Amino acid sequence: MRDPVGSCYYNSLYQDVKRYSKHGEYFFKELMAVFQQRAELELNYAKGIQKLAGRLLRASKGMSNNSTYSAWCHVSDEMYSTADTHRTLGNAFQQEAILELRQVLDEHSKRKRPLDNHVEKTGKLLTANWNEQLKMKKKLVGITREHEALVNFVETNKQICTEKEKQKMLNRLTKSAQTQAKLDEEYFSRNMEGHQVRLKWENTLKNCYQIIQELEKQRLEILSTTLDRYRLHISGFGQSLMQGQRGVEQAMQRVDLQKDIQALVEETSATAQENKADFLMADYFEEDSKSLMGKERRRDAIKVKLQRLEESIAKTKKDCEGLLRLMKSISDDPSSANQKNMKETRQLLQETTLKQDLLEATHYKVSLALVALGECRAIHRFSHSISTWKDKDCEHSVIQLTRPVVMRSSRTRLSSRQTSSMYNKGGPPPDQGPPHPEQGPP
C-alpha cells in the first residue's frame, strides 16, 4: 500500500535536523560533564586531567567539521598540559561555565520534549484518515455494486411479478438507494477532511523543524561564547600554561561563528527544487465503464456528482476571495496586533486554495467518465498530475501537486555577546506564510 507520509519533504527535513540536534546535545552533555570534573580536578591540583582531555577529544571527533567544534579539539590538547592549574580556574569553571551550560541544556530539553509527541500524534491522524478513506471506498463500491445488481434484477423481473412482489422489490430498492447515498456522502466528507489533516501534519513538522534549528544556532553561540570565556581565564595564568594557551589562542582565531551558523543552516535547510505531495482523490463507482450500471443512469449519476463538486468549487472560490480581501485589509494596518491575524489568514488561505485545487482536479477526473458516454473532453491544468494505483481488486486515484517548501529565512546573529539575551527570550521568528494562491501548481 502506498505510504501517505513518504512524499513529505518536511518529514525528511525534521528527521535530519533531529539527528543533528541529537549529536549536538550529546556533545553539550559531554562538555558540561568535562567542565564539572575538570573543576573538581583543578581544586585538587588537576589529578587525572589527562583522562578528561582524552574524553573531550573523543567527544569532539563525533561532531561536525566546523571551526567552533574544531577549536574544542585544541582545548583538549591544552588540558594535557595544565596538570598544575590553580584552584581559581576550578572555581571559575564551577561558577560560570557549568551553570550556564546546564541552564541552556535544561531549557533546550524542555522545549524539545513535546515536539516528537506532537509530530507523532498528527502523523497518526494523517495515516488514520488515509486508511479510513480506503476502507470507506471499498465499502461504498461493494454496496453500490449490490444496489446496481438489485436495480437490474427489478427491471428484468418487473413484468412477471405480482403487485405485492413489485412493492416488496420497490421497498428493497429504496432502502438500498438510501444506504448507498448515505455512505457516498460520508466518503466524500472524509476525503475533504484529508487535506486538512495533511496540512496540519506538515505545519507541525515545519514548526518543530524551525524550533530545533533555532536551538542549534543558540547552541553554537553558547559554545563559542564559552570558548571565549575559557580563553580569557587561562590567559591569566603563568608560564606553565603558556604552551597550552598558544594552541587555544590559535584555535580561537580560526573560529568563524557566522560561517558555522551558515553551515548549520545549509546542512539542515530545504534543498529540493520541488516538493510534490500526494493526495488521495475521491473515486466513484459510476466512473467505471465496466460497471453494471446502465449508460443513461451512469450519465445521470455522474452529473449529480459533478453538480456537487461545482457547488463546492464555487463556495471555495468565494472563501478565497474573502480571505484575500481580509489580507489586504490587515496589510493596510500593519500594526503588531495584526501580525498574528495575518499569519493565521495566510495559513487559512493556503488550506482553502489547496481545497479548491483538489475539488477542481476531482471535477476534471470525474468528468472524464463522460468521454466514454459521448461527452467532449476538455484540457485541464491537472491533466498530467493524476495517476492511479491498484490495491488488490480496487483502483485508486492520486493527484500529485507541486507545492513550495515554505520556510522562513534563517538569520544569523552578528555578535556572540547577544547570546544570553537571545536564548533567554527563546522562540523562532514569525512564519513568512504561504505563497499567494495565484502561484499554485501548473
Q: How far is CA 198 from CA 48, 129, 192, in A?
A: 55, 9, 11
Q: How far is CA 235 from CA 230, 232, 309, in A?
A: 9, 5, 75
**pLDDT digits 0-9 by tens, 84-96:** 666 778 888 888 8
Query: Binning pLDDT at 50, 70 and 90, where does residue 401 land?
Result: confident
**Which residues are registered as beta bridge partners of 407?**
none
d(CA 273, CA 405): 9
Percent of the chain topping pLDDT 70? 81
Query: Binning pLDDT at 50, 70 and 90, where does residue 442 land?
Result: very low
**Type and span of the H or E element at 370:** none
pLDDT at 230 > cutoff 70: yes
349 in Cβ contact with 437 (< 8 Å) = yes
Most confident of the following: 62-76, 214-228, 406-420: 214-228
Residues 136-163 have a mean pLDDT of 83
d(CA 410, CA 17): 14
d(CA 408, CA 395): 39
What's residue 83's pLDDT?
63
Residues 363-392 have a mean pLDDT of 71
What's residue 427's pLDDT?
37
Residues 258-272 have a mean pLDDT of 77
**Which residues are registered as beta bridge partners of 349?**
none
Which range is least confidently modeled, 278-282, 307-311, 405-409, 430-434?
A: 430-434
More confident residue, 387 or 231: 231
| Phi-psi category of residue 374: left, alpha or beta, with phi > 0 → left and psi -120 to 50 → alpha | left
**pLDDT digits 0-9 by tens, 116-140:** 788 878 888 888 888 888 888 888 8
Residues 215-219 have a mean pLDDT of 90
pLDDT at 170 > cutoff 90: no
What's residue 251's pLDDT?
81
What's residue 391's pLDDT?
76
pLDDT at 430 > cutoff 90: no
